[in-house]
Amino acid sequence: MTWSTADIPDLTGKLALVTGATSGLGYETALELLRHGADVLVAARNPDKAAQAAETLTQKAGRAPTVLELDLADLASVEKAADEVITSYDRLDLLINNAGVMAPPYRETVDGFELQIGTNHLGHFALTGRLMPLLVNGSRVVTVSSFMHKTVRGISKADLRPPAGSYRKWELYGKSKLANLLFMLELDRRARAAGADLLSVGAHPGYAATHLQAAGPELAGNLRQARLAAATTRLVAQSAAAGAWPSLYAATYPDLRPGSFVGPGFFEYRGTPKVVLPTRTAQDAGLAKELWDWSVEATGVDPALTVPR
């Protein structure tokens, strides 16, 4: 199969929200959606970076996005951002849960959860749940995971708040990415069971050159390691633009089946996107239901699927 961004259909009249859109995959995703006619909300934690990204997106796409302030590591910020969207719009055609943190030193969210689980999974779970009233009549939710979900064999409720002394950054990153897939597939199961007109799909970028690889060492104050990570990534990884292809394919391909997971075609490392398989653990419906219940308890948000009349 061949596919490129030229195959993205006309998105005029569609509204999309992309988290983590100030750089990397989110930026490239927002750029292509704008170029193909969509109205795009770029959701980001840092207002200055968001304004700068919006300016360059406008220059490149010829159309301006709307900035939405959102800190996924703060559930109050998630609620405020979702309320703003619900107040301003009557539907949301594309929700792309893209933002994430990778392998930082031990940190907690505002609400006391481990930063990676709290940002990558719980923040997006709460955002999706609060935006559910707008996700109707064929809306898509694209949840961005990673091939690192293959490195772990499970997740437990204790992983939401692990003791700092037992923290293993790469293990928790893998579990956060496993959580993304468990959530995506459980949302798909619940949508189909309820008869809701909602398509829940997933994507992963393979190995793409973004700032994510250097962000962890930067948080730890290890600038030498951050520079090395950035240099290595530039040498061996595909571009952020190519890394965004699976997300864009998942967001726009007309005949994508519910619950599909899209990744790069060349050994899931790089190249043209295609549908790939999550691990058996990611497809464990029992574990997915447990994670859903833990997430409802943790966030206070219970996503209610809207059934068409």
What is the domain count for the chain? 1
Alpha carbons within 13 A on the beta-carbon side of 195: 3
Averaged over 162-167, what is the pLDDT? 88
What pLDDT shows up at residue 128?
98
| Residue 134 located in a structural domain | yes
| Residue 17 located in a structural domain | yes
**pLDDT band at residue 153, thresholds of 50, 70 and 90?**
very high
What pLDDT shows up at residue 196?
94
Decide: 34 and 63 in contact? Cβ < 8 Å: yes
What pLDDT shows up at residue 218?
42
User: In terms of residue numbers, what domain contains 138?
Assistant: 5-298
**pLDDT band at residue 208, thresholds of 50, 70 and 90?**
low
**Of 70-79, 82-91, 233-242, minimum mean pLDDT range:** 233-242
**pLDDT band at residue 164, thresholds of 50, 70 and 90?**
confident
Decide: 186 and 288 in contact? Cβ < 8 Å: yes
1 has a pLDDT exceeding 90: no
Q: How far apart are CA 243 and CA 270, in angstroms?
A: 7
What pLDDT shows up at residue 300?
97
| Residue 308 located in a structural domain | no
Q: How do residues 277-298 score in pLDDT, each as one tens digit? A: 999 999 999 999 999 999 999 9
Quote the pTM value: 0.89
| Residue 303 located in a structural domain | no
Q: How do residues 211-269 score in pLDDT, each as one tens digit? A: 454 444 445 565 555 444 444 444 455 688 889 999 999 999 999 999 999 999 766 66
| Residue 213 located in a structural domain | yes
Q: How far apart are CA 155 and CA 288, in angstroms?
A: 10
What pLDDT shows up at residue 267?
61
**CA-CA distances (angstroms) from residue 10 to 38, 91, 207?**
8, 18, 28
**pLDDT band at residue 4, thresholds of 50, 70 and 90?**
very high
The larger pLDDT score, comparing residue 143 to residue 241, is at 143
Exposure string for 275-296, b = 16+ CB within 10 A, e = fewer: bbebeebbebeebbebbbebbe
Please report, for the domain that includes residue 140, its CATH number: 3.40.50.720
CA-based radius of gyration for the chain: 18
| Residue 306 located in a structural domain | no
**CA-CA distances (angstroms) from residue 108 to 74, 100, 115, 116, 158?**
10, 14, 5, 8, 14
The larger pLDDT score, comparing residue 165 to residue 130, is at 130
3-state secondary structure of 163: coil
| Residue 80 located in a structural domain | yes
Q: How far apart are CA 54 and CA 90, in angstroms?
A: 23
71 has a pLDDT exceeding 70: yes
Averaged over 55-75, what is the pLDDT? 98
pLDDT > 90 fraction of the chain, expressed in percent and rounded: 81
Mean pLDDT of the chain: 90
What pLDDT shows up at residue 237?
53
Averaged over 31-35, what is the pLDDT? 98
| Residue 307 located in a structural domain | no
Active-site positions read 145, 173, 177
